[in-house]
Amino acid sequence: MTMSDGRHVSVDAKYKGKNIKTKLAAYLESFVFNDVASGESDSISITLCDKNKKWMGNWFPEKGDDIVPSIILHNWSASGTKKTIKCGKFTIDDLSYSGPPTVCNIGAVSVPSKQGFQNTKHHKVWKNHSIKQIAADIAKKYGLKLSFEDNRNIVIKTIEQSGESDSSFFSSLCSKYGLALKVFNNKICVFNEEIYEKKKPIVTIHPSDFIGQWNYNTTIAGTYTGAKISYTSGKESKDIEVKIGSGSRILEVNEKAESRKDAEYIARGMMKSENRKTTTMSFTIMANAKIYATCCIYVKGLRKLSGKYYVEKVSQNISASEHTMSLTLHKVVS
């Protein structure tokens, strides 16, 4: 895939532990890598021109098999340079063919599918566990590594997992406390997005970098200055309302809490999650190996629209003619 001024990009991959770079090179029409900060799985899509029908014969990819792709940028930032973007480990979950001409499309996701993480329902009561301990137990159960980044030590007295998969249960728990969750490359990552929003921007983007249409939106809907939540006191058996912040735009949180401190954790976490949706932006640029989901960038040259943005999603698109990345962002508000 050759481009102007000597730049070109190639896709490398290991399938079931074996390198298939040569096989891909002769048939690859496009490759898409979706890198998501949280809330959904990373994914890839590989489109192949199966001109001699090898991909529906001896090279037929099986659902449930693992594939580990990488994007290699040649002469991208300067002549003679080579940069590898490791996409992570994926499990093939979708396979389709169409024609004429015969085209094979392979879809894969970063969440492990063979071990029942997403599909097997469980019944369990968790008692006196911190969120980090619950994460560690689930990670150990599936042989996954754990990365946990949150300055709070949130301990839950009792929580019931009732007929839910471990993926669904833990995702809901993280959402309740305003934590981000991502499962990729054999690792469960739990983090407080505030930690990443406070980091310095790694690049500055100008309108001249945009390819095609760009979009910006800001709205008062979903903008909150405070939040309130009620919980039932065990000693007094009465509902107690907890309020954080002030002003007229108060988020009413409909979640169960065990104590005042727990209620404050939930209310503050959910308010901040809602406020992240207030100002958003999206655009497409030429691929930049420095940019990834969860990093911050600075957008300059758009007057009041300019500022620091957190990258929620990066979609890298590789075709015969170009390598671009589409970014989905929210503005960082101090």
When mean pLDDT is compared over 87-91, 164-168, 309-313, 322-326, the highest value belongs to 309-313
Q: Is the peptide bond before 112 cis (omega within 30 degrees of 0)?
A: no
The separation between CA 127 and the C-alpha centre of its own chain, rounded to angstroms, equals 29
Superfamily of domain 8-109: Baseplate protein-like domain - beta roll fold (2.30.300.10)
Are 121-192 and 199-219+278-331 the same fold in CATH? no
- Which ranges constitute the DSSP H helices of the chain? 21-25, 131-141, 166-176, 193-197, 260-275
User: Model confidence over 230-281: pLDDT tens digits?
Assistant: 877 666 667 788 888 887 788 888 888 888 888 888 888 888 888 888 999 9
pLDDT of residue 25: 87
pLDDT above 90: residue 204: yes
| 304: confidence class by pLDDT, cuts 50, 70, 90 | very high
**What is the number of other CB atoms lying within 10 angstroms of the CB of residue 135?**
23
Q: State mean pLDDT over 305-314.
A: 97
Q: Which CATH architecture has domain 199-219+278-331?
A: Beta Barrel (2.40)
Nearest to 119 by CA among 69, 64, 182: 64
| 17: confidence class by pLDDT, cuts 50, 70, 90 | confident
pLDDT above 80: residue 135: yes
Give CA separation, 212 vs 70, 249, 270, 310, 323, in Å. 26, 36, 35, 21, 14
DSSP state of 85: E
DSSP state of 268: H
Fold of 121-192: Phage tail protein beta-alpha-beta fold (3.55.50)
Tell me the sheet residues that pair with 188. 146, 183
Least confident of 82-86, 126-130, 230-234, 328-332: 230-234
Higher pLDDT among residues 116 and 299, named by residue? 299
Mean pLDDT, the chain, whole residue set: 90
CA 180 – CA 170 distance, rounded (Å): 11
Tell me the sheet residues that pair with 296. 310
pLDDT above 90: residue 96: yes
Q: State mean pLDDT over 42-55.
A: 93
CA atoms within 13 A on the CB side of 46: 30
pLDDT above 70: residue 180: yes
Q: State mean pLDDT over 130-145.
A: 93
| 2: confidence class by pLDDT, cuts 50, 70, 90 | very low
Q: Are strands 103-109 and 90-98 parallel, antiparallel or unpaired?
A: antiparallel
CA 324 – CA 76 distance, rounded (Å): 12
Q: Are strands 145-149 and 187-191 parallel, antiparallel or unpaired?
A: parallel
DSSP state of 2: B
pLDDT above 70: residue 15: yes
Domain spans of the chain, in order of start? 8-109, 121-192, 199-219+278-331, 226-275
- Strands annotated E in 118-154: 121-130, 145-149
pLDDT of residue 4: 47
pLDDT above 50: residue 3: no
CA 216 – CA 167 distance, rounded (Å): 33
Is there a contact between 329 and 280 (Cβ–Cβ < 8 Å)?
A: yes
